[in-house]
Amino acid sequence: MINSTYIMPVRLPKPGLRNIDGHLLYLEHAGPHMATLSVVNDVLSSELTSAGQLVETMDLELFGKSLFIEHIIMISLYDEYIYHETLVHPALLSLENPEKVLIIGGGDGGALREVLKHPVGEVTMVELDRSVIEIVRKHVPEVPGDSFEDPRLKLIIGDGRKYVESCEEKYDAIILDVTDPYGQAVRLYTKEFYSMVRKLIGDGGL
């Protein structure tokens, strides 16, 4: 059988904002040979954080307010609820009485928002970049709501892997809400890391 698909080895344009024929567009790489263009209604913020990440928020024509980290879309108001609800509820609903939950990452607050809908006693969140939290709360506050004000939250700004390596606590559920495997996040996609995470899960936990 002859494969009629041929991918030409071309170099994609750099991702980011583009002005094409008077239209403001955002170019995002969707793979080594593919890119997408989104119409931008407004640039809400663009910041190189102290953690070394380029964090941008845009109001997109199709997806509404959206968060980008290193030119990759993380969430949009249009569909973030689908991701966060499916990330959290299947796990917590399968547990009889989850008391302690650990979230690694999740700086946009969406996973935290969903966890706090359950009668949990304590939620520990370990987020590498405080600026992500601050930017989302300012420019996309619809996602976290008032989750970061909840007294059940124990917020730790730091490296998720280092926290897991040194942690001696046990959790009923551990949720990983991290960026794609590039940069520092690569260390969160190894068998060694998941083995360490497993040791923090209490009896009957997930």
**Tens of each residue's pLDDT in the chain, 206 residues:** 444 454 555 688 999 999 999 999 999 998 888 999 999 999 999 999 999 999 999 999 999 999 999 999 999 999 999 999 999 999 999 999 999 999 999 999 999 999 999 999 999 999 999 999 999 999 999 999 999 999 999 999 999 999 999 999 999 999 999 987 777 788 888 999 999 999 999 998 88
Structure tokens at 156: 């730790």
Rounded to whole angstroms, how far apart are CA atoms 116 and 119? Answer: 7
Examine the domain organization and report whether 155 and 178 are in the same domain: yes
Examine the domain organization and report whether 147 and 51 are in the same domain: no
Give me the CATH number covering residue 23: 2.30.140.10
Examine the domain organization and report whether 95 and 158 are in the same domain: yes
**According to the model, what pLDDT value does residue 74 have?**
96
146 is catalytic: no
* Torsion, CA 125, CA 130, CA 134, CA 140, rounded to 10: -60
**According to the model, what pLDDT value does residue 182 have?**
74
Half-sphere exposure of 18 (CA within 13 A, CB side): 16
Smallest Cα–Cα separation from 147: which of 172, 176, 180, 120?
120
Rounded to whole angstroms, how far apart are CA atoms 54 and 182? Answer: 13
Instruction: Assess contact for 170 and 86: CB atoms under 8 A.
Output: no
Examine the domain organization and report whether 70 and 84 are in the same domain: no
Rounded to whole angstroms, how far apart are CA atoms 59 and 52? Answer: 23
Instruction: Assess contact for 132 and 109: CB atoms under 8 A.
Output: no
Instruction: Assess contact for 148 and 155: CB atoms under 8 A.
Output: yes
State the DSSP string of 34-97. Answer: EEEEEEEEEEEEEEE-TTS-EEEEEEETTTEEEEEETTEEEEETTTHHHHHHHHHHHHHHTSSS
**According to the model, what pLDDT value does residue 124 have?**
99
**According to the model, what pLDDT value does residue 2 have?**
47
* Torsion, CA 77, CA 179, CA 205, CA 112, rounded to 10: -40
Collapsing DSSP to helix, strand or coil, 161 comes out as helix
**According to the model, what pLDDT value does residue 1 have?**
45
Enumerate residues 6+ apart whose C-beta is below 8 A from 195. none
Examine the domain organization and report whether 20 and 38 are in the same domain: yes
Examine the domain organization and report whether 134 and 180 are in the same domain: yes
Structural domain boundaries enclosing 55: 16-76
Rounded to whole angstroms, how far apart are CA atoms 137 and 145? Answer: 8
In a domain, residue 51? The reply is yes
Among 26, 50, 76, where does a domain finish?
76
Give me the CATH number covering residue 163: 3.40.50.150
Examine the domain organization and report whether 115 and 63 are in the same domain: no
Which one is catalytic: 42, 177, 180, 203? 177
In a domain, residue 3? The reply is no
Smallest Cα–Cα separation from 54: which of 155, 129, 141?
129
Beta pairing, strands 173-177 & 100-105: parallel
Number of domains within the chain: 2
Examine the domain organization and report whether 71 and 88 are in the same domain: no
Examine the domain organization and report whether 95 and 193 are in the same domain: yes
